[in-house]
Structure 1
Amino acid sequence: MIVNDLAAKRRRIEQLLDDEHAYPTGNLDHIAAKILEKRGAILDVAAGRATPFYLYDREYFRSALAEFVAAFGAHLPGHRPFYAVKSNPHPGVIEEAVRHGFGLYVSSGRELRQGLAIPGCPILFSGPAKLLEELHLAVLHADRVIVNIDSFRELERLGELAARLGRSIRAGVRVPVEHHSAWSKFGIPLAELPRFWRAAREHPLVELQGIQLHLSSHRDLAAYEGIIEQLGRFLERELTAEERASIAFVDVGGGYWPHRVEGYSPELHPLGKVIRAADAHYGQDTEFAQAYYLRESFPLEEYARALGGAIDLHLRPLLDCVYYTEPGRIVSTYAMHIVLTVMDKKSEDLVIVDGGVTMVGAPRYLHTYCPVINLSRPAMREIPVRIGGSLCDSEDFWGFRCYGERIEEGDVLIVPLQGAYTFCLAQDFVRPIPPVVELDHPGDERARGPG
């Protein structure tokens, strides 16, 4: 038997089928409309160079940065944002974030060196398994770098390095709480925080002054509020007033999802998974009622209001400190689009373009819906068409519908808002990684270079 209690699992499946479920329907016409406002400028850029390429949209990115600052500034006054470099490490993106007053949140020595190349930029260095040479570099630049420590052993390594170099280093410690589930591989258990705080006293050059409470990718505002409440209750109960007074910052992390930018295939819905698996087992196709559902998300203002309210209620009465955030996807999504050209029209419902999904690291568009827009023959309606990529891979598809009147060989297509966790995951399988071209300054063409 594949499970221990088949009867119980059968009842669970029946419950799933009988329960009421949310199906967030709608469309992403607002994205297509926004992109078509820039249609002429994008086509001018595409006319002057070969596709495919990543299109760096500095104006769109600036708007996202400003919106984040405004929302969190209103609900979490005095907070400090640190841009999560891992979400998109392109130099132009990093430099623009810094120009908007963001520090940098880095997760590796490579990213740390990128940050240090920008004069005066403050840096949070986080992540597990930091190398000794990376910690050494952080200590050498302790005037700009705060290390979020991930374990007791890392505390020892950092303390030994600081003592050997005769330099003090500011630090925080990462603590997951019960809401974090799989993310609990990071940091130390919350229950160990008092012991960690006291162990840090054995390393006088490690100035432990903060807590990193990375909120991960929750799409449930109550979960964010619950994490903050749990931390506040623990600090009040387990840390002394003197220890709480030494906390200079709380880093609440990132994980904020952009609102209404993509959808997902019905086969990713819990019901869809079960039905599709059963059909496939018996050799049947599944006909879903909807082409896609919108990914659940919240407006940025709601994230900021929920976090700010929870901090006001549970942390500010205990702590006189600064609050850090680590926005990544919530802003970098808007930094880049992908521009492609139709190379072959094989039938009315199948075209092949000149770029493959190695540009984003994986065949994500088989199950994730992102709008594709035909800039050459624009329309505010979608037509059904399979848009295959240039790879020798049956999963290499950009989507199954396109905004446009029709689609023909030579048409220029754009996949908008693909700046987060795509460019940074690109691979050179079969074809080289395409360059980044700036929309506002189209002469600035750079090869992909996060490393």
Structure 2
Amino acid sequence: MTRVRRLADWDRDRLLDLAAEHGTPLYVQDLGRVRENYRRIERAFPDASVMYAAKAHTGRAVLSTLLDAGADIECAAAGELQRAIEAGADPNTLQYTAVNPPANDLDYAADLGAEHPGLTITAGALDTFDRLAERGYDGRVAIRVNPGIGTGHHEKVATGADAKFGIPADRVADVAADVADRFDLVGIHAHVGSGVLHDDLDDHCRAVGVVADLAREAATAADTSLEFLDIGGGFGVPYREEADPLDMMTVGERVREAVGDLDVTLKVEPGRYVVTDAGLILTTVNTRKETEAATVVGVDASLATLIRPAMFDAYHPIRNVTAPDRKPEPVSVGGPCCTSADVFCTDRPLARPEREDVLAIGMAGAYGYELANQFHSQPRPAEVVLDGEQTRVARQRETLADVTRLEN
């Protein structure tokens, strides 16, 4: 089992057949690879409770696959709770991480917890606990703490040092004492950041150590025994071909060392790691324009299909699936949106793209379809899932009628 799946590892003929049958732009998700990645996490954390962070990819096929593999599901919104339940999750196993939750979300979670007392609600603001109490909720809760250390691939995902997320370290003990009086305090939670690779591992483990210390303080202040310490996810996948993948066995060892002798169940919440290299986008070249400044290659995918390059300046590998052996040349690949941000790469060497060629944009399984939108009134793409030799449509392609369907 390889630790990362590169674009060249995908079956070229199968990708071309998918593009011909289902059209482009098209999301493709390989459920077999999702299982492989999950199993790797399980082996690295044999005594931990592994929860899949649903926000990375909430497609029912992915959620059902992971539930069947034995994963629990962590949700950050009411819609994700609903999706997990519809995919077959027992609500008593779900964990809801509330970040500035809208009233409707909190209503949904509180009602769900009243009916299913195994549900755990995690909150990172005293205000949120007050709002839960106002709704009559007195069940299982965890406190999200802010260790003051953030790591990850971009400042917008370094949540461990962002005031938006979690109770500040110097207030955790007081909040724990208050919360334990009103709820069943069962855990401490933190998420340091996303996209953690080897260069970030020291900071990540240092933050885990701080969170473990905060869990000790919270348990003492609340005069209770905690059930779990949830260190979130954040395990990264190398989007760039030259970057080395994580050795998850090493990560597991380092994390356990950072937690130390804390007598709790360790929880981890991988999301990106499980689904990133299991997904890609197929897109068709429709325009080739040579200028003095650049050779521009226009495709039918756009920032409405995949917004990560525009939002995070994210790198995604691209391959000419139709003609991978043509001589490479530097090209800029962009979509049909009327903004300079709608670009997937600039002056990147690719096997010479020609009109009607199919390109693959890799590492699109996490936060790809989840952030897809209807900018420029573009219908969202279809998604197919592969499971061994089987292929099925997991999400239908939207039509122009779907774009305006909810309007009055």
- Give me the TM-score of the superposition, normalised by structure 1: 0.74
Residue number in structure 2 paired with 1:214: 191
What amino acid does structure 1 have at the position aligned with 2:58?
A: P
Q: Does 1:70 align with 2:48?
A: no
Residue number in structure 2 paired with 1:395: 341
Query: Which structure's residues are more often strand, by fraction?
Result: 2
Residue number in structure 2 paired with 1:53: 26
In structure 2, how many angstroms separate the alpha carbons of the residues matched to 1:126 and 1:337? 28
Residue number in structure 1 paired with 2:265: 322
Go from structure 1 to structure 2 and tell me whether the alpha carbon gap of 1:301 and 1:184 turns closer, same or farther (over 3 Å shift).
farther
Q: Does 1:34 align with 2:33?
A: no
In structure 2, how many angstroms separate the alpha carbons of the residues matched to 1:368 and 1:225? 25
Q: Which one of the candidate residues 149, 168, 171 is aligned to 1:179? A: 149
Q: Deviations over 1:290-310 (max 9, x none)?
A: xxxx66874333322211221
How far is 1:382 from its partner? 4.4
CA contact (8 A) 1:435 1:446 kept: yes
In structure 2, how many angstroms separate the alpha carbons of the residues matched to 1:296 and 1:373? 19
SS in 1 for 2:356: coil
Go from structure 1 to structure 2 and tell me whether the alpha carbon gap of 1:103 and 1:380 turns closer, same or farther (over 3 Å shift).
farther
What amino acid does structure 1 have at the position aligned with 2:25?
A: P
Q: Does 1:250 align with 2:229?
A: yes
SS in 1 for 2:307: coil
Residue number in structure 2 paired with 1:134: 108
Q: Which one of the candidate residues 251, 254, 258 is aligned to 1:310? A: 258
Q: State how many pairs are aligned.
A: 371
How far is 1:64 from its partner? 1.5
1:414-425 correspondence runs (5 A): 414-425=360-371
In structure 2, how many angstroms separate the alpha carbons of the residues matched to 1:240 and 1:401? 56
Q: Which runs of 5+ in 1 are unaligned?
A: 1-28, 264-293
Residue number in structure 2 paired with 1:148: 122
How far is 1:347 from its partner? 3.5
In structure 2, how many angstroms separate the alpha carbons of the residues matched to 1:380 and 1:409? 14
SS in 1 for 2:203: helix
How far is 1:169 from its partner? 1.8
What amino acid does structure 2 have at the position aligned with 1:261?
A: Y
Go from structure 1 to structure 2 and tell me whether the alpha carbon gap of 1:177 and 1:445 turns closer, same or farther (over 3 Å shift).
closer
Farther off after superposition, 412-421 or 346-355: 346-355
In structure 1, how many angstroms separate the alpha carbons of the residues matched to 2:173 and 2:339? 52
How far is 1:65 from its partner? 1.5
How far is 1:343 from its partner? 1.4
Q: Does 1:223 align with 2:192?
A: no
Q: Which one of the candidate residues 184, 188, 201 is aligned to 2:167? A: 188
In structure 2, how many angstroms separate the alpha carbons of the residues matched to 1:366 and 1:201? 39
Go from structure 1 to structure 2 and tell me whether the alpha carbon gap of 1:334 and 1:366 turns closer, same or farther (over 3 Å shift).
closer
Farther off after superposition, 245-254 or 135-144: 135-144
In structure 1, how many angstroms separate the alpha carbons of the residues matched to 2:278 and 2:115? 29
Go from structure 1 to structure 2 and tell me whether the alpha carbon gap of 1:231 and 1:411 turns closer, same or farther (over 3 Å shift).
closer
- Amino-acid identity (%): 26
In structure 1, how many angstroms separate the alpha carbons of the residues matched to 2:209 and 2:315? 35
Q: Which runs of 5+ in 2 are unaligned?
A: 151-159, 399-408
Residue number in structure 1 paired with 2:386: 439
Q: Deviations over 1:6-65 (max 9, x none)?
A: xxxxxxxxxxxxxxxxxxxxxxx9713312xx1111111112122111112222222212
SS in 2 for 1:303: helix
How far is 1:185 from its partner? 2.3
